[in-house]
Chain A
Amino acid sequence: MAEPIPSILDADALAAAERGQWRLVLRRFLRHRLAVASLVLFLLVIVFAFIGPLVWKWDHLLHREIPSLASPSADHPFGTTRAGNDVLAQVMRGTQQSLKVALTVAVLATGIGSVWGAVAGFYRGWIDTLMMRIVDVIFVIPFLAVAASLSGAVRGGVTWFHIAVILGLVGWMGTARVVRAMVLSVREQEFIEAARAVGASDPRIIFRHLVPNTTGVIIVAATLEVATAILAEAGLSFVGLGIQPPDTSLGLLISSATSAAFTRPWLFYFPGVFIIVICLTVNFIGDGLRDALDPRQTMVRR
């Protein structure tokens, strides 16, 4: 009665049987060389940003002893600013603040966006229309205006957390649109009807079937969100609504150094390189994660 189980799989099957799903995910991730390299680099950046300030002799604030506008040297590897800050210490602090903002925004925006999009796409009809028109409306309002009014309403000074929440609240629409589009196609597949046929509830269908089947686009959206958040934070700081001196962020460092890009490049390029490194590594990690979380991926090293 039973068709013979292919014998090639048997040896392999016994080994694979008890292996947890997460170990499989990890194994697939480890095969993605670029992603692993990016993860290592990203962890180094995190160490640099969070542990660095504790061990480096200068902090990011002004110090009388620091010479003005010194080029990179052993004492100040990234040089110094006109006012007398150590740029290495500033970049450490800036990276830390930018990372905190970017990751919070990514989590928040992706969370709101994917739930919003999945719900709209799942129910379709007037619920979908209403929800997506709300998205359109939020899209048309310039985010700077929203962010300005919101950050103006924060009492007792704006911290990185306020910035992150504000950016998260105005930055989830793109994710919502992409997720909705994907859900519209996934919901027509037969396994969704199969879930209905066993009596699964709507939340179960949305969170156990639809969202997992859209992880690919959700992860891509989240990694893009990290990059956008860093830039948006820089924009906010530039117009005086974001993180303010004496505190600093990567965006703030760059925007205050734009005029000096050619004359005193260390002020501009060091924070710039960090932004690029963060954005790129997060993107590659996202790539690796997307492939690792897709059970259909073959285990081929790339």
Chain B
Amino acid sequence: MSELAVPPVLSARNLVKHFPVRGRGMLRRKVGEVHAVCDVSLDIRAEETLALVGESGCGKSTTARLLLNLIRPTAGEVRYRGRDITRLSRRKMRPLRRDLQLVFQDPYASLDPRMTVFEIIAEPLRVHGQFPYGGREAVRELMATVGLDPEHRNRYPHEFSGGQRQRVGVARALALRPKVLILDEPVSALDVSIQAGVINLLEDLQEELGLAYLFVSHDLSVVRHIADRVAVMYLGKIVEVGDVGSVFEAPAHPYTQALLSAIPVPDPRRERRRRRVILAGDVPSAVEPPSGCRFRTRCPKFENELSTIRRRRCIDEVPELKYRYSGTEVACHYAAVSTVL
């Protein structure tokens, strides 16, 4: 899969996660399954940022939690440095938690309102028994690293602004000196001006500490700025993966093209001349995803360009994610590069 010889730090192979949908009543019988994540494979290499993009509800956050073994996958495996972590018990998982950390989307909900910022940042150190060895200084340093005033350590989360809280979240995630940081929409709850500050902080930290990032986002402009590689998800499946340049300049999957065409271009004349790909309809239910290609129900290509015979293939056959004469790996039977930016 990878064109580089560098082995990935964290990789997912054929991850599947189905959530049961239970009926009402006493027995709460299982009446269906939400196919949240379906056959997802990813590689995160050291010191690299892989962005995972897609619209709300497509399984990005579930994938992030699967990678951290916070929820158990229905099938598939996650390898950290070659070792499958999905079957590990919580006790065996604990030492690995030091290396894999998570930054949450909502800085308002992800910090315990009853703890001071000091306690929040010190918690990972305490959990892993590192606090007695210079924990106090470590917390001070971490706060300074993320641009918070260490004098504010006795304050509570609600006394901080959104951007400052997200910095607290980052400091907490960094406390154990992780190798991989999974950022679950770390800036989407913040104002644009504050986003820039946090993004720059993340980039500086990556450079200083040699972190690998999985950057989950639905904001493509941010992704273009920060990512090295991009994976596009639709309804629990990855539809296109590639270098940030290839994906943005030469997207081959109709869904990627649609997503990219929605990015505003800060030039009115170009903006007017652009081809817009507008998707019809809603995301289909993940309880009963469409057969074959999951995107076909909204695919402009399926709708307008394909003959009935060629459509058959989209309906019957699940497209595989592979190189198809473009710079990226695409899961589309009729992939064709089209520039939309």
Contact = CB atoms under 8 A, between A and B. Distances in A.
Contacts of A300: none
B213 to A, nearest CB: 16
Interface string B89-103: 010011001100110
Interface string B153-173: 111101001011000010010
A14 B152 CA distance: 8
A19 B194 contact: no
Interface stretch (B73-81, B120-128, B229-237): B120-128
Interface string B179-204: 00000000000000110010011001
A186 B77 CA distance: 31
A43 to B, nearest CB: 28
Interface stretch (A101-109, A193-201, A238-246): A193-201
A3 interface: yes
A197 B70 contact: yes
B116 interface: yes
B110 A194 contact: yes
A73 interface: no
Contacts of A194: 102, 104, 110-112, 169, 172
A208 to B, nearest CB: 8
A236 B156 CA distance: 46
Nearest to A201: B127
A197 B172 CA distance: 11
Interface string A1-43: 1110110000001101111110000000000000000000000
Given A197-B70, A296-B156, A213 B113 contact: yes
A197 B197 contact: no
Given A3-B164, A16-B154, A199 B113 contact: no
Contacts of B193: 3
Interface in A125-145: none
B152 A196 contact: no
A296 B114 CA distance: 8
Contacts of B12: none
Given A21-B116, A190-B109, A196 B70 contact: yes
A3 B194 contact: yes
A200 B70 CA distance: 12
A212 interface: yes
Contacts of B68: 197
A13 B148 CA distance: 13
Contact of B104 (A17, A21, A190, A296): A190
Contact of A17 (B94, B127, B151): B151
Nearest to B105: A190
A288 B238 CA distance: 54
B127 A200 contact: yes
A202 B51 CA distance: 32
A197 B154 contact: no
A123 interface: no
Nearest to A19: B154
B299 interface: no
B139 to A, nearest CB: 14
A191 interface: yes
Nearest to A298: B158
Contacts of A195: 112, 123
Nearest to B148: A2
A209 interface: yes
A198 B94 CA distance: 8
A213 B110 CA distance: 14
B97 A13 contact: no
Nearest to B118: A21
A193 B154 CA distance: 23
Contacts of B124: 198-199
A13 B94 contact: no
Contact of A199 (B93, B114, B154): B93
Contact of A190 (B110, B152, B200): B110
B176 interface: yes
B106 interface: yes
Contacts of A16: 154-155
A21 B115 CA distance: 10
A204 interface: yes
Contact of A191 (B111, B116, B152, B194): B111
A296 B158 contact: yes
A199 B94 contact: yes
Which of B94, B123, B197 has the most chain A CB within a 10 Å cutoff?
B123
B149 interface: yes
B147 interface: yes
Nearest to A193: B70
Contacts of A189: 109
B147 A1 contact: yes
A295 B158 contact: yes
A1 B201 contact: yes
Contacts of A197: 68, 70, 97, 101-102
Contacts of A1: 147, 197, 200-201, 204
Given A190-B104, A190-B106, A191-B111, A199 B163 contact: no
A162 B115 CA distance: 38
Interface in A168-224: 189-191, 193-201, 204, 208-209, 212-213, 215
Nearest to B125: A198
Contacts of A198: 97, 101, 123-124, 127-128, 172, 176
8 contacts: A1-B147, A1-B204, A18-B154, A191-B109, A194-B172, A198-B97, A208-B115, A212-B112
Give the 7 A-B CB pairs with smallest separation, nearest first: A2-B147, A199-B97, A190-B109, A295-B156, A198-B124, A17-B151, A190-B110
Interface of B: 68, 70, 90, 93-94, 97-98, 101-102, 104, 106, 109-116, 123-124, 127-128, 147, 149, 151-156, 158, 161, 163-164, 169, 172, 176, 193-194, 197, 200-201, 204
